[in-house]
Amino acid sequence: MLIKFFRNGKGAGAGPVGYLVADKVLAYNDNRDLIRDADGQPMTVTREPLPEVLRGNPDRTEALIDASRHQWTYRAGVISFAATDAPTEEQQAEVMDGFEHLAFAGLDPT
């Protein structure tokens, strides 16, 4: 299992939230270079598996980011498992519960 936070983000919530739930995203090679077609246009790939929202509400998250008056409007992170980890749904829920307890300490969950 890997838990990682990325640098602070700027701007509207449509960018980060849209990326997280998008079925198609820009295609990159193993060096993280954008792949372009013969005309120089960026290529896209369909995610496999497709994203699935397990907790939270993307529209609400986007609205919260948009409501921020700060220069840095959001902080993104990821909880990921290797295919060999094969956590059960109960184990995944336990990890998400612990993460939310730590990341949102002192905040009302509603």
Q: Give the residue extent of every domain in the chain.
A: 2-103
In 3D space, the residue among 72, 93, 73, 70 whose CA is nearest the CA of residue 81 turns out to be 93
Under 8 Å between Cβ of 10 and 70: no
Per-residue pLDDT, 7: 86
Measured at the CA of 64, the angle between CA 63 and CA 65, to 5 degrees, comes to 90
- Give the pLDDT band (50/70/90) at residue 107: confident
Mean pLDDT for 70-89 is 90
Whole-angstrom distance, CA of residue 94 vs CA of residue 103: 14
Q: What is the pTM of this model?
A: 0.77
